[in-house]
Amino acid sequence: MSIIRPLLVLYICLLILDALLSYFPEIKKYRWRSELHRICNYTCDPIRKKLPPHLPFDFSPLIVIMLINLFMFLW
């Protein structure tokens, strides 16, 4: 069994968790939250730079999730 697919699913879960936790600013002071945000920004930042800055929501996690799902589907 390939280990890559479960790791990609885990990363998708981390992206969703990071997006949900962004609505709770009081959690930002915890170290685990900053580490989670750092891990998720690794893939979201390049896409975030390509998107227009005046969007009401950050759509980069959604785009990353769609790209990962496309990669898993094609693989």
**62-75 per-position pLDDT tens digit:** 999 999 999 999 98
**4-52 per-position pLDDT tens digit:** 999 999 999 999 999 999 999 898 899 999 999 999 999 999 999 999 9
The whole-number pLDDT of residue 32 equals 93
Evaluate if residue 53 carries a pLDDT over 90.
no
Query: Where along the chain do its domains lie?
Result: 4-74
The whole-number pLDDT of residue 75 equals 81
Evaluate if residue 1 carries a pLDDT over 80.
no
Angle at 5 between CA 10 and CA 9, to 5 degrees: 25
**Inter-residue contact 28 to 34 (CB < 8 Å):** yes
